[in-house]
A and B are shown apart, each in its own frame.
Chain A
C-alpha cells in the first residue's frame, strides 16, 4: 500500500532527478569548459611577457581565483602591469595574492555575480581601509547599477586628501538619492579635507 503510494512519487523524483542531474553535469561541464577556455586565453596573454616559470605561477594564482568564481581579468591586468614595470616576480605574486584576497572579500559583500570591474574597484576600496559593510550598504543603495563610479569617486577623493568618512558620507548620500554618475564626479575634494588634526580619520 505504502509502496503503491510511493511508486508514483518515486517515479516523479527519479524522472525529475535524472534530467536535473544531467543538466547539472552538463552545466558543470560547460562551466569547466568555459573556465578552461578562459585560462587558455590567459596563458596566451601571459606568454611572451614572462619567463615560463613565472607565467606558470601566475597562472596558478589566477586558476585558484577563478575556481572560487572570481574574475581572471583584474588579476591578468595586474600581472601584466607588474611585467611592464619590470618588477621582480615575487612582487607580482604578492600583488596578485593581495588582489585575490581583496576581491574574495569584496565578492562576499557585493556578490560573486558582480561584474569584474565592480569587484576590482571594490577590492581597491577595501585595500584603502573601507569596511566591507560599506560595500553592502552601497550595493543596497545602488540596486543593480554599477558600483564603479561611486567607489571610484570615493577612491579619488581620498587619494586627493579627503577625510575618508566625509568622502564616504557624500558618496553614500548620492547613492541613496539615486544620483546620476556625473554628480559623483562633481564632488569637490576641497570640501572634504581635514581642517583640524582630529578630523583626519
Chain B
C-alpha cells in the first residue's frame, strides 16, 4: 500500500463519564478502503466525528492524536479544522433525507461548498457543481441543480451528498452508514458508484457500518469496534474467514444468511456494556464463552503481520 493518509493514535473521546471512544488506533493508506464495523453504540460514529472535529457537546477528545498531513489535528484551531473540512476531508451521513437542508436549493448548497474553500465566481462554482452531479450519475444535472432536496428520491439525494463530498477531491472520506437508509437495489448501486469514484481519485475511504456484507464487498481492511475500542483488525478476507476475536466470530455468526433455514437465528448472548461503566479488562468478557479470570485484566494488543487483536484467548484452531 501507499503512504499513510490518516493515522489515529489512542484516540479517546468521552462524553462526561461515558467513554464512547477509549483508545482507538488505526491508520488509513492512500486509496485504501477501511471498514469500521461495530454495533450501535460501539463508538464508530463518534470516531468519525472526532476525526473531522465535529463531536457534539458534551463530547470532547480527551486524549490521543489524529495525525493528518503530518500534524496532530486534535490540536488545530477551529478555523484550521474548518478549512480542512470539506476540502481535504469529507463526511457522508446515514440519512440522505436529513443531510441536505430542506429549504435551500441544491445549487445553493453545492455552490456554497465550493466557495467555502476556493475564491471562485458563482458561475464557475456552479459549473463545478454541475460536473460533480454528472459524475455521480445524476441525469440532466443542469436542471436538477435548480431543484430542492424533497424533489429527489433517497438514492438520488445520497448521490448529491456524495457529489458534495467529492467537490474538492478530498484526501479521505468518512462514510457513516450511507447506505443503511436506502433500498437494497439502490444500496448496491451507491456502493458500486462509491467504489468507482474513490478508486478514480485515489481517495481513501473510511466506511462505518454494522453490515458485514457491505464491508466484505467494499473494504480492503476491516476494524471491528466493541465498546469504544478496536478489538480486531486486518485484511477483510482474512478477518471474515478466520476471526481471532470471539466477538468478531459472534458478529459473523449473527449474519442471517449464514444461518440454516428453520434453525434459530444465532446471536451473541447478553447486551453490549454501557460505555459509562466499562470493566478494566476485556469489555466483551461477560458475554464471551471463552472468558476466564485473566480477561479481567487489561488486554494488550497482539499483532501478527497485518492482523491485530485484543484477546488473551483468541480462537485457537484458527490462530495465525
Do A and B actually bind? no
B contact residues vs A (CB 8 Å cutoff)? none
